[in-house]
Amino acid sequence: MKDFPLVDLVGVGLNATDTLIPLEQFPQPGSKVHYSERSTRPGGQVATTVVACQTWGLSTRYVGKLGDDDAARLHKEAFARVGTETQIVTVARTASLHNVILIDAAGERTVICQRNDLMVLQPSDLRREWIESARVLHVDGHDTAHKAAVLAALAYGFWVPPAQLYTEGLRAVEKQDIIYARKLGYGLKLLAIIKTDSDGAAEVRVHPTLVPTSHVLASVSGVFNAVLVRGDVVGDTLYYGRGAGGDPTASSVVSDLAQIAAHFPQEQKARNVGHEALHSRVKSMPEIVSRYYLRLMVVDRPGVLADVARVLADRKIGISSVIQPEAQAGEITPLVLMLHDAPEAEMLAAVQDISTIGAVKTLPVYLRVEDFD
């Protein structure tokens, strides 16, 4: 078996070829806009971080999948140029992932991204020695959940078991949900929510969340991340900065390596985290209480809203507002409801009951709402 040299960092994850197009402003629906230049370069969060770390003087290895096209050759040349070792799984007769990034004059980015399940690494694609012969492992996927686990440990003194950290991505969200959220006065953000109740139980969850447009977190966009911390005495404090891109991510990785080096091989001086040190337990998702946004695709006919309201009333869930675009009788149209506070268990049961109503033609979409009260 081949021996693999020890490297400072191994990155495992997706890559993509990015085509960047600068524009004066983002195009309006149905419009035609001109651009004067474009550039195509290799990208992807993990791949970019690995190259940046190698450029900064670390020894690195990249593990990922590529197709058998010109984009794959572009990536391999970029890794070779800086001296990054690669372990590439090639997918025959498949195009590498490609993103189009529109950048307006203010620097705001709109990413049109491509996904292909064939390009996702599977456990069977990996070899143990690729991973073990490295001081630090950098992996993409569930990034926000990883951050939530670390922040919960720092705030509350215990590690959240992965099975108890609820994680939900943006796959179920459609463009119309973003549009209706704006009409209702909300923006849509992927939030990690970490808080406790009066009984000492901790909530640690990650999911798409409606945030009031008047709240500071609603304005966080592009490559920027923000952490809102609420203290008993100090109140709300905000920590804001770049959370993506080669240099910011590489800076975090190098900082971690420096901290490891500072404490090795000496006695560990970093903060120790116990188990459930400050709080009694982690709440399960069915226990959490939230407001909700609910979108249904229904046949426009008399009695549909009453049927939905009856199901919600049976679960003791109140309706705060309703939006339904004007439609011809018999057409399928969205029915959007904002709901009052309810336990997740009751909301899930209501959604299951609503999906059995004959006029409801697709699976209901529901999103949680955070008002920061």
Least trusted range by pLDDT, from 90-99, 136-145, 191-200, 239-248: 136-145
Domain boundaries, the chain: 7-139, 143-282, 289-369
Give the pair of three-digit tokens for residue 50.
């690995």
pLDDT score at 43: 87
- Let me know if 147 is a catalytic residue: yes
Same topology between domain 7-139 and domain 289-369: no
Q: pLDDT-derived band of residue 276, with 50, 70 and 90 as boundaries?
A: very low
SS3 37: coil
User: Which backbone phi and psi does 93 adopt, to 5 degrees?
Assistant: 55, 35
Closest to 17 measured CA to CA, from 76, 62, 58: 76
Region 143-282: CATH code: 3.30.360.10
Give the per-residue pLDDT at 131: 83
Note whether 308 and 339 are within 8 A (CB). no
Q: Residue 65 forms beta bridges with which residues?
A: 89
Residue 162's identity, in one-letter code, is P
Q: What's the maximum distance between 2 C-alpha atoms anywhere in the chain?
A: 75
In CATH, the architecture of 289-369 is 2-Layer Sandwich (3.30)
Give the right CATH number for 7-139 from 3.40.1190.20, 3.90.190.20, 1.10.3720.10, 3.30.70.80: 3.40.1190.20
Q: What is the mean pLDDT of residues 151-165?
A: 79
CA distance 196 to 174: 31
Query: Angle between the 45-55 and 246-262 helix axes, to the nearest 10 degrees?
Result: 60
Q: Hey, what amino acid is at 157?
A: G
Q: What is the pLDDT of residues 193-220, one digit of tens each?
A: 999 887 778 899 999 999 999 999 998 8
Separation CA 102–CA 25 (nearest Å):
9
Please identify which of the residues 147, 189, 269, 361 carries the catalytic annotation: 147
Cβ neighbors of 342 (< 8 A, separation 6 or more) are 289, 290, 291, 292, 315, 316, 317, 350
| Torsion sign over Cα 44, 50, 54, 60 | negative
The whole-model pTM stands at 0.64
- Alpha-carbon distance of 68 to 70, in angstroms, equals 7
Confidence check: pLDDT of 36 > 50:
yes
Three-state secondary-structure class, residue 221? coil
* 338 pLDDT more than 60: yes
The predicted structure's pLDDT at residue 210: 97
- Residue 326, pLDDT above cutoff 70: yes
